[in-house]
C-alpha cells in the first residue's frame, strides 16, 4: 500500500558545494568547491521537527550536497538527537 509517508523522502543539501573528492561527473566539478558552508543546527532542528510532523514514525532522508560527511560526526549526532 502506498502512503503519503512512503512518498516523502527529502533530499537535504547540508554542506553546499564543498567537497574534497572533485569527481569529474559532478555538477560542481568546474566550480570553486572550497566554500565550506554547513547547514546551521537551528535550521536542521526546524526542518527535522516540521518533517517529522508530516512524515510519520519512520522518516527517511537523503543527505546530499558535496560530500555530506564533511559536515562532521557532530552534525549527524544532532540529527539523531533532533
For the chain, the structural domain boundaries read 4-81
What distances in angstroms separate CA 77 from CA 14, 23, 24, one per listed residue?
A: 14, 27, 31
Task: List pLDDT tens digits, range 5-27.
Answer: 667 899 898 887 777 777 788 77
Most confident of 4-8, 35-39, 50-54, 57-61: 50-54
| Dihedral (Cα; 11, 17, 23, 29), 10-degree rounding | 120
Dmax (CA) for the chain in angstroms is: 45
User: Is the overall model pTM greater than 0.85, yes or no?
Assistant: no
Cell numbers found for residue 42: 537551528
Cell numbers found for residue 78: 544532532
- Residue 73's pLDDT band (boundaries 50, 70, 90)? very high
Share the mean pLDDT of the chain: 82
Query: Above 90 in pLDDT, residue 47?
Result: yes
- Residue 48's pLDDT band (boundaries 50, 70, 90)? very high
Amino acid at each position: 500500500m502506498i502512503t503519503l509517508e512512503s512518498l516523502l523522502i527529502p533530499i537535504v543539501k547540508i554542506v553546499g558545494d564543498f567537497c574534497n573528492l572533485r569527481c569529474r561527473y559532478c555538477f560542481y566539478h568546474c566550480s570553486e568547491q572550497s566554500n565550506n558552508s554547513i547547514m546551521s543546527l537551528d535550521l536542521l532542528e526546524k526542518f527535522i521537527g516540521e518533517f517529522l510532523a508530516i512524515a510519520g514514525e519512520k522518516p527517511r532522508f537523503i543527505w546530499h550536497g558535496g560530500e555530506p560527511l564533511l559536515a562532521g560526526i557532530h552534525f549527524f549526532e544532532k540529527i539523531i538527537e533532533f
